[in-house]
Structure 1
Amino acid sequence: MTASALTRPGERDRLSTKLSELDWRLIALLSVVAMTGTAMLYSIAGGQWQPWAIDHLLRFGAMLLVMIGLAMVHPKWFFRAAYPLYGLVVVMVLMIEFTPLGYEPAGAGAKNWLNLGFIRIQPAEFVKLGLVLALARWYHDHTAQEARWSWKLIFPVAMIGVPFLLVAKQPDLGSAMIIGLTGAAVMFVAGLSWKVIAAGGVAALVTIPPFVMFGMHEYQRNRVLTFLSPESDPSGTGYNIIQSKIALGSGGLLGRGYGLGSQSQLEFLPERETDFIFSTVAEEFGFVGSFALLACYIAIVLIALRIASLAHSHFARISAAGMTAFFAIFVLINGAMVMGLAPVVGVPMPLLSYGGSSMMTIMIGFGLVLSTRVHRYAELPKGYGLV
């Protein structure tokens, strides 16, 4: 369909037209990953739908409808909601710290959940959505020069820094890391000067060692040090990485077969339904299966970035690229973690791992990406207003 057809009065509002403009390749790839997750959760439960597979499947079905529904929404509504949503998620993080509604799941090591009675959520997951939208809103209203280098950049830095510090204090290092990296990715996409990026990289390298030694809790520091030498504590903090590597290696080229992974079936592999589910894929389907899954993730990222690049609105471009960035960061960190290339920080593999808050965040994010695809010719003037 041509640009003129989509922008003709009344034409863009037809539901059939909007549905035809959805990128069904992206929807299909997201469904493949989620169905793979369902199959693996069924496998590691010993061929049982409970306790994980059926919940994962039903959640995805519900969130698939939500994602398509959000794709029908005009980007102006996301634009108007950007700052209020950011404020809401920051307040939710603060509620964990200063109200009785915050709690720490057994064995989690971090007080990072909010119990609202009818639902329990992890606000740090939704911070990423609010942050991307707020940053995209800020950059939409500022010039390319201001995005490259200006004293005004203190505002997006503060937007990133506030939730980063609050989440890190919980302490939830994995979520804080993703918040920081997602914010940095949005600033990069918006046109941040390479000199600033290089200076930030150098500053990070300089501050990481003292932060590890003096700014982390002892168990977090042990995770980082064990990552460098997991064999130094094979039955303690190094156990997770060692078992994950065993699962990855035992799969070989074609895997041990569906439901036949000894590391996961005999429960040697820790957190096999969440953090280390990719290790189960590698054990049961080998290099070929794990490579095919990673190829799906790569295709999702490339299609989403293509959608972002075609948007006429600066807000839509940056927000869609930002949503894609935090999805890609999830994949990179979890993949590096299970391979022993990064410390274990509790980051799930998107749509593959079991977890409601993570799935909800990812699917809402892709709802915004698909909205960008459907309304790619929409223009949003600067200073559009909050209401």
Structure 2
Amino acid sequence: MNTPQQRYARTTSNTGADFQRRIDIWGLLRLDPVLTSLLIAASLLGLIALYSASGADLTMTLKQASSFVLGFGVMLIFARITPNSYAYISPWLYGLSSILLVAVVFIGEVRMGAQRWIDIPGVTSVQPSEFLKLAMPMMIAWYLSTRPIPIRFRDLLVCIVMILVPVGLIAEQPDLGTSILVFMSGFFVLFFAGLSWRLIGGMAALAAAAAPVAWTFLHDYQRRRVITLFDPESDPLGNGWNIIQSKTAIGSGGLSGKGWLDGTQSHLHFLPEGHTDFIIAAFSEEFGFIGVIVLLTLYLAILIRAIQIATNAQTSYGRLLAGAITMSFFVYVFVNAGMVSGILPVVGVPLPFISYGGTAIITLMSGFGVLMSIQAHRKLMG
């Protein structure tokens, strides 16, 4: 006859074995359980928001869901690649992406007034600027990981050239939003490499001095967006329409919102691009201040976990790259929220996991796959 002690021993043993198997599954997949759970939660919330913002368009929602599945598959693949392999391919990926950017100038396909895509007959079209969102921080991290830190002035100049050349090509397409994201992804590597505040201040002063010159190179629609930022009421039915309707949607949500599927600004088509760039306005209208706090808390949790991974990275390359990827994710959130609320110009940056768009999802998940790799292989090497 089994004694209580024997039954307890068997139960404890089985529970421990189950727990160990769960650990082994995460380890086998090379995924961080905390970060993966947060990404899944953000993806599900994004599908809920998109279904309503798109006017209950099930086809669009299912297409977005398939992009999430593909994105998680890419993340699984990227998580299994070692950080040393990423370091090895960094200059090759950067070089190929830059060559493709140059090719866009000559053979790029024009869509909606922008020349950003290269058409591959019978297959698909690619947007080389998307590759630079990951290739840029990989390249700068690879270059600086083999050099003294804090960064020397000579190395800083080399990095600035490597950053500005692709950024200039992307801005000329024109794609100001992507050029900002690519620039910041490279700048964050410089920052984490020990770039002094004196140099940062000098670069900011130089940029401010060059602003009048840069203004002359902006396209007309980009100038109008900047002007509209300061006075949207000057053209309420034209360039100011997006910001005015966005603020109206955000303010009408109140504390708890109008309820899921009950938003009026997006459903009655007052809010432009309510399922893409301005989806947080539609989200705010339906879920209110409380819903926005929940969303921002989820973003904050993702950032905290990603920062922990960057801090615990064992190599200089891993720390620089993980830190840059993490802060690039923050820029996505900050710029989108800023332009929708009227504190930044409209530059076409999607809200991570919420805005509709498969390319942006796959790019994001690729970056998180690299983070997973840095975390998983740290454990393997530790």
> TM-score when scaled to structure 1?
0.89
Distance in 2 of aligned mates of 1:121 and 1:359: 15
Shift of 1:372: 0.6
In the alignment, is the contact (CA less than 8 A) between 1:313 and 1:378 conserved in 2? no
Which position in structure 1 is the counterpart of 2:265?
Answer: 263
27, 30, 36: which one aligns with 1:27: 36
Matched-pair identity in % = 39
Partner of 1:126: 131
Over 3 Å counting, the alpha-carbon distance change for 1:211 and 1:40 in structure 2 is same
Q: Indicate yes or no: 2:197 matched with 1:197.
A: no
Matched, 1:161 2:169: no
Task: Give deviations 1:63-93, integer Å, cap 9, x for gaps.
Answer: 1122122212211111111000001111121
| Cα displacement (A) at 1:114 | 2.3
Task: Note if contact 2:30-2:79 (Cα within 8 Å) is conserved in structure 1.
Answer: no
Aligned equivalent of 2:211: 208
- The corresponding residue for 1:174 is 177
Q: Of the candidates 42, 45, 48, which is equivalent to residue 39 of structure 1? A: 48
Contact 2:229–2:342 (Cα < 8 Å) also in 1? yes
Any unmatched runs of 5+ in structure 1?
1-13, 380-387
Alignment of 1:1-387 (within 5 A): 16=25, 18-19=27-28, 22-50=31-59, 52-99=60-107, 102-106=108-112, 109-117=113-121, 118-145=123-150, 147=151, 149-212=152-215, 214-376=216-378
Secondary structure of the corresponding residue to residue 358 of structure 1: helix
Q: 1:263-284 CA deviation, whole Å, 9 max, x = no partner?
A: 1111111111110011111010
Which stretch of the first structure deviates more once superposed, 338-347 or 152-161? 152-161
AA at the equivalent of 2:75: M
SS at match of 2:118: strand
One-letter amino acid of the structure 1 residue matched with residue 233 of structure 2 = E
From the CA coordinates, give the structure whose radius of gyration is larger. Answer: 2
> Kindly tell me: are residues 272 and 228 of structure 1, through their superposed partners in 2, closer, same or farther at Cα, counting changes over 3 Å?
same
Q: Distance in 2 between matches of 1:125 and 1:152?
A: 25
Cα 1:20–1:211, aligned 2, differ >3 Å: closer, same or farther?
A: closer
**Deviations 1:185-213 (Å, cap 9, x if unpaired)?**
1100111122101111112222224422x
The structure where helix makes up a greater share of residues is 2
Q: CA deviation at 1:29?
A: 1.3
Instruction: Please provide the CA RMSD for this pair.
Output: 1.7
Is the 1:104–1:111 Cα contact (8 Å) retained in structure 2? yes
Aligned residues: 358
Look up the match of 1:10: none
Q: Which moved more, 1:354-363 or 1:36-45?
A: 36-45
Change (3 A) 1:17 1:277: closer
Q: CA deviation at 1:121?
A: 2.6
Q: TM-score, normalised by structure 2?
A: 0.90
Counterpart-to-counterpart distance in 2, 1:95 and 1:34: 34
The amino acid across from 1:98 in the alignment is: F
Q: CA deviation at 1:48?
A: 2.7
Instruction: Report the CA distance between 1:377 and its aligned residue.
Output: 5.3
